[in-house]
Amino acid sequence: MSEDPVLAGYRQSIDNIDAAMIHILAERFRITQAVGTYKAQNKLPASDPGREERQIARLRSLAADAKLDPEFSEKFLRFIIEEVIRHHQKAADAR
Ligand SMILES: C=C(O[C@@H]1C=C(C(=O)O)C=C[C@H]1O)C(=O)O
């Protein structure tokens, strides 16, 4: 059975957006990797809660302006930051 062309058009767009998100995330992790190496070399703490809270406040405000759920946006950012801190901790432990 051939796919519904309207649904297929929407899905094409979703596929493009998903690909862009993967590239953006890859770029973010590429730079946070460099931050983790720098912190490990300079014996800086893996996490910076003050910086995180400022980022979350900024993201929540951007989300509200963009009509995206701020709660969801905060959860999403915290999920990513948690993974970054795990990487930073690993880089510090490897020294
Ligand atoms: C990237 C950093 O390290 C950690 C990860 C953060 C992030 O992923 O945005 C923010 C703060 C830190 O807890 C940093 O200190 O800037």
Q: 14-43 pLDDT, tens per residue? A: 999 999 999 999 999 999 999 999 999 999
Task: Say what the ipTM of the complex is.
Answer: 0.98
Total domains in the chain come to 1
- In the chain, pLDDT over 70 holds for what percent of residues? 99
CB of 79 closer than 8 Å to CB of 31 = no
Structural domain including 80 reads 5-93
Binding site membership of 51 for ligand 1 (Cβ less than 6 Å):
yes
Residue tagged 């094409």 (tokens):
12
Atom of ligand 1 nearest to the CA of 31: 1
CATH number at residue 36: 1.20.59.10
Give the Cα separation of 1 and 70 in Å (integer): 40
Question: Which pLDDT does position 1 carry in this prediction?
Answer: 60
Residue nearest to atom 1 of ligand 1 (CA): 32
Q: Are 63 and 70 in contact (CB under 8 A)?
A: yes
Sign of CA dihedral 91, 86, 36, 27: positive
Any ligand 1 atom below 6 A from CB of 40: no
